[in-house]
Chain A
Amino acid sequence: MNWNGRFWATALAGSAALALTVVADSTLSVDPAIPAYSKVEGIKGNINIIGSDSCVNLDTLWGEGFKKVYPEVNVSVEGKGSATAPPALAGRTANVGPMSRPMKPEELDSVSSKWGYQPTGVNMAIDALAIVVHKDNPLQNLTLELIDAIFSKTRKGGYHEDITTWGQLGLKGDWENKPISLYGRNSASGTYGYFKEHALYKGDFKSNVKEQPGTAAVVQGVAEDLYGIGYGGIGYLTPGVRAVPLAKSFGGTVFKPTYENSLSGKYPLARFLILYVENAPGKGMDPVVREFVRFVLSKEGQEIVVKDGYMPLTPALVKKELLKLETK
């Protein structure tokens, strides 16, 4: 009885903490000006989603929501990394390719050489890439130059020394001489590429960054390693870790990874998550894919974005993205 009571109390406390942290922005909600999804008759077929690992939960939830509207549609989801999306689209093993970074010109060419035209990229959600440390880490804030000096061996940000201990970031006491333990994503992920481009100034990672196969693994690694630091999409944060507020450079203002700061571009590591689809000139999109993307851009789809811990588009952005679905 007693044991039972304690168990439930613990479980409740745990889930409350979880709810608080996952929805980092408790006020975050979808703008009511984004219209609800309107069902279209005669939609059936397959949605095969292959691409980003950061988006895999999101894809699955969208798939479930879409299947509720169209029970005859089959949805399959595979998320091994953004780099897997272009080959899958080119080979037509996928008709939706989610990526957490824009395609490189080389990748666009690899798809358009098979199709005869370029894929269409639809922004579908906003993600703030968070720098995560253990929840008990007293670190207050960081700048991109410092992140570069922590993670990169090329230090193109220009910081003059390699940062290997927490003391170099200003932590005192026990932390001062503790080595920093680095966690990162595997190179197939768009997060890896985005981080390399924006936080490492297109430089190279240190060789001793432990490459994890998913953002969840990065977050788990940092949660278990008191002296760890890692990076990952805001949607994956857990109570064991904390996102560090960032400034673009020394002397700049420090911003938390919130919705407002991401929309305004003040938080330096905010990005769009992108769905790549086929919109053949003159022929238009496959109806089932078009409806899937419309669903993603609807009120329901954007509510799923919020539910999964990412940030929704604004009505103006949704309007702009919907234009991309029209036949060219």
Chain B
Amino acid sequence: MAHQPNLKAVVIDRVAAKLIPAGGILIVACVLGILVFLFTVAVPLFIPARASAAASIASDWPCLGVDFVEGAPAPWWVTREGAWLPGADEKAERIALPGLAGAVPAAAVQVPTARATGILFTDGRFALVRVEKAPGGAIAGAVLDVLETAQGAGGRVAAARDSEGHARLAVLRDGKVSICGLAGLAGSADTAIPTPGIAAIALSSSGHTLAAALENGELQLWNVEDVSEPGLMPTLPAGPAPWAAVAFLLGDETLLAADSRGSVAGWMRVRHITITNSGGSAASVLGDSIPAGGSVVVPDRDHAKHVVRGGALTIGPGGHRFISSRSFPPLPAPAACIAVSGRNKSFAVADVLGGVSTYHATTGRRTLRIEASAPRPTSSLAFDAAGTGIAAWSDRLRTWSIRDPHPDVSASALLAPLWYESYAGPEFVWQSSSGTQDSEPKYSLWPLFAGTLKGTLYALLFSVPVAFAAAIYVARFAHPRLRSWAKPSIELMAGIPSVVVGMIAALWLAPVLERSLCTVLVGVVLLPPVFLGVVAGFARLPATAGGLRPGVELAGAALSLAVTLLLAFALDGPVERMLFRGDFRQWLFEALHVQYDIRNGFLVGVALGFAVIPVIFTIAEDAVANVPASMTSAAVALGATRWQTVRHVVLPAAASGLFAAVVLGLGRAAGETMIVVMAAGNTPILDPAPWNGMRTLSAAMAIEIPEAPVDGSLYRVLFLTGLLLFAFTAVLNTIAEIVGTRLRRKYGRI
């Protein structure tokens, strides 16, 4: 009888033939989809800033100052006739200033941190004015504070609003500066700064520091906290060309200056220390030399670590000083004025040819260059409150809307050491958030890379020897009965949720490890000799008593472990007393300057290693067990012992599988999150030592994503770390595959 095709089987066969490839394609599509998604979120970080011209208002009036309306993208400006808004039919519309009707403006300057513009009137009054768009739509001017001064003639001005909300004013006229503000109960004070030849001035946003750029290129800083008594602070060295403009960056930690040759530079406020040398001979610390019996004030670059306590050198406070720390790409023409953002560390410099360049101070790069329409010097420049608009007045009033959502991120910010504000030098730092906007977010990825590598390395150091030994033993040495339950039970370890492993490590193992650090150390030192001793003992046993009968070596290993543990517990006390002055942790700190952290690399190595062992074991065991019996039989027939067989036949043949096992374990360890979040302390440090913690890429993502504003810089940087982790794993797996295939081809011929 001819065989009838079973209709049901045919249908199932056809459906399966369609479904199975569809499943495969779906998986590939999902992986690609994740990749594309990560990519699209991360890529906007590197899109260059764009500026688009928004308004261009023709004028024949000299503009004293420009600013933006709060809550609307429109500019407003000050002329001798008053304050103005762009109105209908290209006509300007007057802004009424309550209480200041009829007063004639003499000078004006934007005060970004107060979200206002300061206007000095010819009658000597100085007012902080904010122009706001009400929710209803009407635009009106509000006067925040008025100061009575004797400065009616005007000039170039700098202004600030102090923490109590009062106006501060500095006026530069004929190379001389007067500073005005409230001084105690006496009312306003008007004090002249006793330095002639000043070319440009700036006030810090608190109004407490006045920066004066001299015509001879010097930069002077005056402490004007008390307006009636200005005090000169240490002078900064002279620049190569006279300064044309100075400004304080948001946060008052950086002083910016641009000169008449177009170069732009920054000085940062850095903590200094005084090193006093009471000894009889000159000394040197970190390259700073201190004469005998003298003292020097130097930037604090961890000198304290290099000074012996109780020696001739003593360290005392040295106050804060500004030191030259940043230089920016130069302008094509002499600088005219500087405007700083009230939102982030961006600033803009206009040149005498009407062009505008914007910079980001942290990354030190030029973010934007706007060319002039006509070569006329810019006399007023301003950012809007959100940092998304710039207004400049040269031949006409022009505004641009700026699209630069991530000025604080660049390849150098992520990968190069940057000199951040209040640091003594360039460093790799990850500290992504703060409660205030005038601090710099720090996105160096190296601490996270280092943390990931550190965790992975310690995990592999722990797991590879254990897993390989277990795999070789189970596949080649163990009694078949032992093998039948040992393999599944080790593989079962993979089923333990990593959060449980992390919790046990953090809450139970960490304190245990901390208390018995010395015991662990003694145990690690004792294990090899004890093991050798046990092996020697077994070898001397008469064959009739069992000897090294195949399959019972496990008993020997267990015995070694038990003996080691007993010895470790018995000896740790005496060892700690004799060698480590009774307290191993304290000895580490005092003798080696090592601070043992309760959440550390060793702990993570053990916990992460525990999670990785089943991955490595399974593949390694398969590789070792699948070495063809013909090869091992040949070896045994030639008289090789079991170890010789394993060493010279099995391991070379299984090498590709063992390599794949390590690489897959590596991938698993690098991507593991919960264990490191719970057990690593999440300290973003660059230190490979096993006694302190780490923050890995995956842990940073898990911890910081909830706080990251969607589409903000931190959010995108975290997605970028995800993309890098993805790429890292993909590269690893590809390497494993390529090497594995090569090795397989090589040994396949045997």
From the candidates B319, B385, B435, name the one contacting A192 in the complex (CB within 8 A).
B435
User: Considering only CB atoms, which chain B residue lies closest to A105 in the complex?
Assistant: B437
Cross-chain contact B434 with A109 (CB below 8 angstroms): no
Cross-chain contact A204 with B343 (CB below 8 angstroms): no
Binds B, one of A66-74, A150-158, A233-241, A291-299: A150-158
In the complex, A290 has a CB within 8 A of chain B: no
Contact with B along A177-210 (1 / 0, CB 8 A): 1110100001110101110110000111101111
Q: Indicate whether A187 sits within 8 Å of B432 (C-beta atoms), given known contacts A178-B586, A208-B685.
A: yes
Rounded to whole Å, the gap between the CB of A239 and the closest CB of chain B is: 19
From the candidates B251, B317, B318, B386, name the one contacting A202 in the complex (CB within 8 A).
B251
In the complex, B682 has a CB within 8 A of chain A: yes
Rounded to whole Å, the gap between the CB of A232 and the closest CB of chain B is: 15
From the candidates B136, B317, B423, B707, name the one contacting A160 in the complex (CB within 8 A).
B317
Rounded to whole Å, the gap between the CB of A78 and the closest CB of chain B is: 10
Residues of B within 8 A of A (CB): 135-136, 251, 271, 273-274, 300, 302, 304, 315-320, 343, 385-386, 420, 422-423, 429-439, 442, 447, 511, 586, 589-590, 595, 597-599, 681-685, 692-693, 703-704, 706-707, 709-710
In the complex, A6 has a CB within 8 A of chain B: no
In the complex, A110 has a CB within 8 A of chain B: yes
Q: How far is A248 from B420 in the complex, measured between Cα atoms in Å?
A: 26
Most buried by B among A117, A154, A178, A192: A154
Rounded to whole Å, the gap between the CB of B330 and the closest CB of chain A is: 30
Closest 5 CB pairs of A and B: A193-B435, A188-B707, A83-B707, A160-B317, A154-B422
Cross-chain contact B343 with A207 (CB below 8 angstroms): no
- B-chain residues with CB within 8 Å of residue A164 when the two chains form the complex: 595
Most buried by B among A109, A179, A194: A179
Cross-chain contact B439 with A196 (CB below 8 angstroms): yes
Cross-chain contact A84 with B707 (CB below 8 angstroms): yes
From the candidates B304, B442, B595, name the one contacting A162 in the complex (CB within 8 A).
B304
Cross-chain contact B598 with A181 (CB below 8 angstroms): yes
User: Considering only CB atoms, which chain A residue lies closest to B447 in the complex?
Assistant: A207
Cross-chain contact A177 with B707 (CB below 8 angstroms): no
Q: How far is A60 from B69 in the complex, measured between Cα atoms in Å?
A: 42
From the candidates A81, A117, A211, name the one contacting B683 in the complex (CB within 8 A).
A211
In the complex, A161 has a CB within 8 A of chain B: yes
Cross-chain contact B435 with A197 (CB below 8 angstroms): yes
From the candidates A80, A155, A156, A204, name the one contacting B442 in the complex (CB within 8 A).
A204
Cross-chain contact A202 with B433 (CB below 8 angstroms): no
In the complex, A134 has a CB within 8 A of chain B: no
Q: How far is A281 from B586 in the complex, measured between Cα atoms in Å?
A: 62
- A-chain residues with CB within 8 Å of residue B703 when the two chains form the complex: 186-188, 211, 213
Q: How far is A87 from B706 in the complex, measured between Cα atoms in Å?
A: 10
Cross-chain contact A160 with B300 (CB below 8 angstroms): yes
Cross-chain contact A87 with B710 (CB below 8 angstroms): yes
From the candidates A154, A205, A209, name the one contacting B423 in the complex (CB within 8 A).
A154
Cross-chain contact B511 with A224 (CB below 8 angstroms): yes
User: Considering only CB atoms, which chain A residue lies closest to B429 in the complex?
Assistant: A204
Rounded to whole Å, the gap between the CB of A94 and the closest CB of chain B is: 13
Assign chain A's interface to a size class: 35 or more
Known contacts A154-B423, A186-B682, A187-B433; 13 further A-B pairs (Cβ under 8 A): A83-B709, A106-B437, A117-B135, A160-B273, A160-B300, A177-B586, A181-B597, A187-B707, A188-B706, A202-B436, A202-B439, A204-B420, A207-B431
Cross-chain contact B683 with A209 (CB below 8 angstroms): yes
A–B pairs, 15, beta carbons within 8 Å: A83-B709, A105-B343, A155-B271, A160-B315, A161-B304, A181-B595, A193-B433, A196-B439, A197-B434, A204-B439, A207-B429, A207-B431, A208-B693, A211-B682, A225-B598
Q: How far is A117 from B71 in the complex, measured between Cα atoms in Å?
A: 9
Q: How far is A105 from B704 in the complex, measured between Cα atoms in Å?
A: 20
Q: Indicate whether A81 sits within 8 Å of B511 (C-beta atoms), given known contacts A106-B343, A156-B271, A190-B435.
A: no
Cross-chain contact A208 with B692 (CB below 8 angstroms): yes
Q: How far is A283 from B489 in the complex, measured between Cα atoms in Å?
A: 65
